[in-house]
A and B are shown apart, each in its own frame.
Chain A
Amino acid sequence: MGNIVYDWVAHHCENGGVFILPPSHYLIMYISLAAEKIIEIGPIAITNTILVTWVVVLLLSLSAGFATRKMKQIPAGAQNIWEFVVEAILGMVENVTSDRKKAEKILPIAATFFIFILTANWMGLIPGFETIGFWKIEEGHKVLVPFFRPPASDLNTTLALAIISVISIQVFGFGYLGFKYIKKFVNFKGPIEFFVGILETISEFAKIISFAYRLFGNVFAGGVLLAVVSSLIPYVVAVPFYGLELFVGFVQALVFAMLTTVFVHLATLSHAEHSETH
């Protein structure tokens, strides 16, 4: 049966058709580390991860706009959900900062990380997500180019998020401490302080790498795992893996948001306070 379907796919593909097929029906599995390009608009190539990012941004914006269009003292429906989400994240941030004012300032960046990454990751688990696409000949093999791919399985996305996170850490640190914050990195008090400053600088860059690769690695690996399991045994067996990926998607979103919160909080503490808390 597999062969028949394969022929059918091959036939239509040569005519430039588009197919919706479970992954088990194509036997050559092509895993691309880079996000696949779908269309090119002038000099900008739109990849499937960018497309999904747009969908996520649009969905979240519409949901938020709809939920808070008419705010009521007694919440209902979408307003309730958003209030729950915001309050829960605010609670977590407040746990870290133990200062509501500061928590309210960190909330937008931490909550957006959490909500965006969680939505993007879970959207990748919708059936057909990485299996609806078009066929393309690449290096002599016929490969499926999916229309949708989880944004976090693209290094561009995770690097972008990591850069934003690290920059916001610096902004908060400078905003709270002023030029004292810069002393953390550039310090001529003595050779030890100078060397510590260099280490601190390196660690900020290391944060970018660790943020970007942790998220990318987890989500990409999850996608590959699901693809492999589904192509081996297409029915039932993949279900627990989907559960696992739901969990991983949540944990990664939480880790990204929480780490950002903790780093921002640490950056806003002066050296005296810093040593006090340890």
Chain B
Amino acid sequence: MEALGIDFKLFLGQIINFLILLFILWRFAYRPVLKMLNDRREKIADSLENAKRIEENLAESEQKTREAIRNAQIESEKMIENAKKLAVEQRAEIIEIAKTQAGKETEKAKLAIAQEKNQASIELKKEMAQLVGLATEKILAKKADSDLQTQAINEAIEELK
């Protein structure tokens, strides 16, 4: 032991030295560094998760926007379609109305014409009756009296009716 230099005091001293170093390194190196490493690890995991969530959110909102745009497009197309349909319907209706109106006007005109014709024929008859009366009077002035004359005229008018 002596030749190998083993000395109990030195041996004990080295144990103490090493234990001091162990404590100091534990206190000032391993503990803070491990804490930092673990903290950082957690932080990185957190940020990765956050990034993932943000990406998901972004994708979702993009999807929503796209959907909204598509919906708006569909809506507008529908509106245009409706408007077109409405216009066609209205056109048909207007034409219809115009046609009936025209028909009515024609009818009215025809009626007026018929009335006029009637009136005219009545007036013509009256005139004719007068004329016939006059003529008959002229002819009968010489041959009959006025009673006969009126009787004849009345008969003639009766006949005409």
Interface positions, chain A 45-104, Cβ under 8 Å from B, are 45, 47, 49-50, 53-54, 56-57, 60-61, 64-65, 67-68, 71, 73, 75, 79, 82-83, 86-87, 90, 104
Residues of B within 8 Å of A159, CB to CB, are: 6, 11, 14
Stretch at the interface among B34-42, B53-61, B91-99, B149-157: B34-42
In the complex the two chains form, what is the Cα distance from A65 to B107 in whole Å?
Answer: 117
Interface positions, chain A 19-43, Cβ under 8 Å from B, are 32-35, 43
B139 proximal to A (CB < 8 A): no
A164 near B6 with CB under 8 A, answer: no
Instruction: With a 10 A CB-CB cut-off, give which of A75, A90, A160, A164 has the most chain B CB atoms.
Output: A160
B25 near A64 with CB under 8 A, answer: yes
A103 to chain B, nearest CB (A): 10
Stretch at the interface among B16-24, B82-90, B118-126: B16-24
B80 proximal to A (CB < 8 A): no
A187 proximal to B (CB < 8 A): no
In the complex the two chains form, what is the Cα distance from A60 to B18 in whole Å?
Answer: 12
In the complex the two chains form, what is the Cα distance from A97 to B13 in whole Å?
Answer: 32
Given that A68-B32, A83-B36, A160-B15 are known contacts, is A61 also in contact with B9, CB under 8 Å in the complex? no
Given that A83-B33, A86-B34, A109-B22 are known contacts, is A34 also in contact with B5, CB under 8 Å in the complex? yes
In the complex the two chains form, what is the Cα distance from A210 to B121 in whole Å?
Answer: 154
B10 proximal to A (CB < 8 A): yes
Set B5, B29, B34, B36: member contacting A156, Cβ < 8 A: B5
In the complex the two chains form, what is the Cα distance from A32 to B2 in whole Å?
Answer: 12
Q: Closest residue of chain B to A69, judged by CB?
A: B28
Q: Closest residue of chain A to B32, judged by CB?
A: A68
The interface residues of chain A, by DSSP majority, are classed as: helix
The interface residues of chain B, by DSSP majority, are classed as: helix
B5 near A161 with CB under 8 A, answer: no
Give the number of residues in B that approach A within 8 Å (Cβ atoms): 34
In the complex the two chains form, what is the Cα distance from A157 to B14 in whole Å?
Answer: 6
Residues of B within 8 Å of A160, CB to CB, are: 11-12, 14-15, 17-18
Q: Closest residue of chain A to B33, judged by CB?
A: A86
A73 near B29 with CB under 8 A, answer: no
Residues of A within 8 Å of B39, CB to CB, are: 73
Contact with B along A135-178 (1 / 0, CB 8 A): 00000000000000001001111011101100000000000000
Residues of A within 8 Å of B24, CB to CB, are: 57, 60-61, 64-65
A137 to chain B, nearest CB (A): 19
Q: Closest residue of chain B to A168, judged by CB?
A: B22
In the complex the two chains form, what is the Cα distance from A45 to B7 in whole Å?
Answer: 10
In the complex the two chains form, what is the Cα distance from A64 to B33 in whole Å?
Answer: 10
16 additional contacts, CB 8 Å, given A45-B9, A50-B14? Answer: A33-B4, A33-B5, A34-B4, A45-B7, A53-B17, A56-B21, A57-B17, A68-B33, A104-B34, A112-B18, A116-B18, A155-B4, A160-B17, A160-B18, A161-B14, A163-B15
On A, residues with C-beta under 8 Å from B are 32-35, 43-45, 47, 49-50, 53-54, 56-57, 60-61, 64-65, 67-68, 71, 73, 75, 79, 82-83, 86-87, 90, 104, 107-109, 111-112, 115-116, 151, 154-157, 159-161, 163-164
